[in-house]
Structure 1
Amino acid sequence: MPRYYFDLKTGNSVAVDEEGVDLSDLEAAQSEAAQSLGAMARDAAVTGKGTEQMEISVRDDDGPVMTVRFSYDISRKKTN
């Protein structure tokens, strides 16, 4: 079973996955990355930040295999 690593980038910070996780195939890795990114986006939206960009770079033991990205922007017309 292949091992996939999920490196997280938010803004200017990068968290490198040193452990990885064993998954059946690339489709399972894509699903894991998309679900994780969706949960992180949901959490970030609750904080109400104006702009957020996140991405998860997925790699296996041979190197990069995909990048999953999410971004949103909140543009207020009034502050209160």
Structure 2
Amino acid sequence: MPRYFFNIRDGHDLDEDEEGIELPDLEAARAEALATVEELRDELADAGNIELEITDETGRRLLTVPFFRGGQGGRRR
């Protein structure tokens, strides 16, 4: 199973996920990211332009999920 990493980017800094999580595919990783954003949204309300980015084991960015922008779900990079 592939391993996906969920990094938090605030426009300037990057908080890297060093462990990652094994999931069956990118759609499962997207669902995990959306659930994480829902859980953290209130906690990070004062933090500005934050995104949760999903990368693969090579560090390639696959998808970003904004915390506060008016997007629907996530966008592929």
Taking structure 2 as the reference length, the TM-score comes to: 0.73
Aligned-pair identity in percent equals 35
Distance 1:17 1:44 in 2: 17
Alignment of 1:33-72 (within 5 A): 33-45=33-45, 49=46, 52-62=48-58, 63-71=60-68
Secondary structure of 1:24's counterpart equals coil
Q: How many residues align?
A: 68
Structure 1 stretches of 4+ with a deviation exceeding 6 A read none
Match of 2:73 in 1: none
Q: State the Cα RMSD in Å.
A: 1.9
Which of the two has greater helix per residue?
Answer: 1
Q: 1:60: how far off?
A: 0.8
Instruction: Assess if the C-alpha contact under 8 Å between 1:9 and 1:55 holds in 2.
Output: yes
More strand per residue: 1
**Larger CA Rg, structure 1 vs 2:** 1
Q: Do 2:6 and 2:33's aligned partners in 1 also have CA atoms closer than 8 Å?
A: yes
